[in-house]
A and B are shown apart, each in its own frame.
Chain A
Amino acid sequence: MLLIPCPFCGKREETEFHHGGEAHIERPKDPDALSDEAWAEYLFMRTNPKGVFLERWVHLAGCRRWFNMARNTATNEILGSYKIGEKPPKGAR
């Protein structure tokens, strides 16, 4: 069981949260100009690293806010969480 630090509520049990996949995926500015391959790249392809991963979480059973978190996918070590729009913690990238 992970203890996940919500940037608003503090540390809570993992069951209160829902995972939202990789963070910082930017929607292309002009989707009409993209090839099918480039659009598929945006929609489906994710980095899936072994190591530090920047990912989205939502505090579903708590404040119901989305936020970002840096987590090591190999060790489950959590380097920190940060609000949407903020920069990842030092050492996470």
Chain B
Amino acid sequence: MVKSFLRQSPLAHLHLEARPLMAEALPAAGISISECAHTTQIAVRGQSSDPAFAQAVTTALGIALPTDACTASGAPERVHMLWMGPDEWLVVGPAKTDDRIGDKLEQALNKLHCAVVDVSESRTVVQICGANARSVLDKGCSIDLHPTVFSPGRVVNTVLARSHITLHQTAIDAKSGFPSYDIYVHRSFAEYLWSWLEDASREYGLQMNP
């Protein structure tokens, strides 16, 4: 883990916090986007068929290993885990939580055949929600995001606007039915993808949250 005073979001130079909130100007903003910087992200690899491995992960984190393809486990606002491949997962801890997730995993998995690597600085997370969130993603992503086939807890590694991303649907609003997504983007693509999202959202009304 990089010392916290050295950590800088790949979007820091855009000074999103200094941009005016457009919520009042656009009461019907169909899209809300924000950066969720400085999450803890730990790549874990191991054999899910090994019960000792799955058990050790559960003991360390208190959540089950999502062994089904393209699924997540745990609550998105707390420590959660994303399926990245048949023997690979991403453990995500919200920003400003204790950084001990990696330590806990390393201790629990110490004697097993597996890999635990802190990749927190490799990607940032852009959160997008609102009435037209799905329409914006549909412009650059070939995954079928219709609620009948894609729902909260679904995770895909895919391409959005030619950038490799991990897309996680975190929620669906019970009243409105509007979805929320976390988009994991590699830091060198973050500025490009942010600009693309701003541009793609413009026609629906865009609210940027710092």
Within the complex, which residue of A9, A16, A61 is in contact with B70, where a contact is CB–CB below 8 Å?
Answer: A9
- How many contacts A-B (CB < 8 Å)? 36
Which one of B3-11, B101-109, B113-121, B154-162 is at the interface?
B154-162
B159 near A15: Cβ-Cβ < 8 Å: yes
Determine whether the beta carbon of A9 is less than 8 Å from that of B142: no
Contact with B along A48-61 (1 / 0, CB 8 A): 00000000000001
Chain B interfacial residues counted at CB < 8 A = 13
Question: B85–A15 contact, CB under 8 A?
Answer: no
B147 at the interface (CB under 8 A from A): no
B156 contacts A62, C-beta separation under 8 Å: yes
Chain B residues within an 8 Å CB radius of A10: 69-70
Distance between Cα atoms of A12 and B88 in the complex (Å): 19
**1/0 contact string of B64-98 vs chain A (CB within 8 Å):** 00000110000000000000111010000000000
Q: Which residues of B contact A62 (CB under 8 A)?
A: 156-158
A12–B157 CA distance with the chains assembled, in angstroms? 11
* Contact-residue bracket for chain A: 10 to 19
Q: Is A64 an interface residue (CB 8 A)?
A: yes
A13–B69 touching, CB < 8 Å: no
Q: CB of B202 within 8 A of chain A?
A: no
Chain B residues numbered 130-166 whose CB sits less than 8 Å from any CB in chain A: 142-143, 156-159, 164
Given contacts A63-B84, A63-B85, A64-B85, contact A12 B69 (CB under 8 A): no
Which residues on A are within 8 Å of B, measured CB to CB? 8-10, 12-13, 15-16, 61-65
12 contacts between A and B (CB under 8 A): A8-B85, A9-B69, A9-B70, A12-B158, A15-B142, A15-B159, A16-B159, A61-B164, A62-B156, A62-B158, A63-B84, A63-B85
Binding site for A on B (CB under 8 A): 69-70, 84-86, 88, 142-143, 156-159, 164
